[in-house]
Amino acid sequence: MSKSINLTKDPIWILLRKVTVPASVGSLFQTFYNLVDTWFAGKISAEAIGAIAKSFPIYFTIIAVGVGVGAGTNALIGNSLGEKKTRIASMYIAQSLIFALFISILVTLFGLNASNFLLSVMGADAAGIFLTRQYLDIIFYGTFIVLIQISLNGTLNAQGDTRSYRNVLIFSFFFKYIFKSTFYLGVWIYTCIRYFRPCNSHCYFTINWNYLFGL
């Protein structure tokens, strides 16, 4: 168990504070992480934002499965640790990871094959489906990463450790924002260079602002 937390002996109010506060902060930064995509999509077009919005109901398939994997892992390992059956708890960790990997394959196949139908049911046209699939397919290809991460987080939660995952979520948010900002800056610089024209031994910038800020 965590050195700073003893789930079987510490007072309940101390446990609530030590467990729930880091978990709440982590959930906040997870929301920020998802907002990064929306914020940068807004710099592309309204259609890009619409594509991301339509992807969320299908993306929740991964979240729903992940919640089940995490809750099951948490409960089984937590009960085993409470009964001081550490060997059984270790077996549950291995089984949870294997199950997460297996179920991620099924979710990925479902997402890649059923997305067009589900998007059409939501009223998306051919262009909208194409844009949404460009964003959504990458998420489904990475389903195994998400579910394994949730499985490991369930293992940590069973020991009262919610700080580690909080730190991962905070780092992920800043990394994603900095990475996308750097990429966006690179596109901006490329656009400036592309519209840099020589004329009669003089150089001047011809910048198409609609194109530049519509990237």
- Those residues whose C-beta lies under 8 Å from the C-beta of residue 55, and which sit 6 or more positions away, are 132, 135, 136, 139
pTM: 0.76
State the Cα–Cα distance between residues 169 and 146, nearest whole angstrom: 12
Q: How far apart are CA 139 and CA 133, in angstroms?
A: 10
CA angle (154 as vertex; 114, 31 as ends), nearest 5: 60
76-134 pLDDT, tens per residue? 998 998 888 889 999 999 999 999 999 999 999 999 999 999 888 888 888 888 888 98
pLDDT band of 3, cuts 50, 70, 90: low
Mapped onto helix, strand or coil, the DSSP state of residue 142 is coil
CA 11, distance to chain mean position in Å, is 34
Q: What does the alpha-carbon distance between residue 19 and residue 157 come to, in Å, rounded to a whole number?
A: 8
Strand partners, 202: 199
CB atoms within 10 A of CB 137: 15
The structural domains of the chain, with segments of one domain joined by +, span: 12-178
d(CA 7, CA 10): 6
Sole residue written with tokens 């960790």:
93
Q: Bridge-partner residues for 197, per DSSP?
A: 204
Q: Tell me, what's the pLDDT at 196? A: 56
Q: Which two tokens stand for residue 79?
A: 């009960």
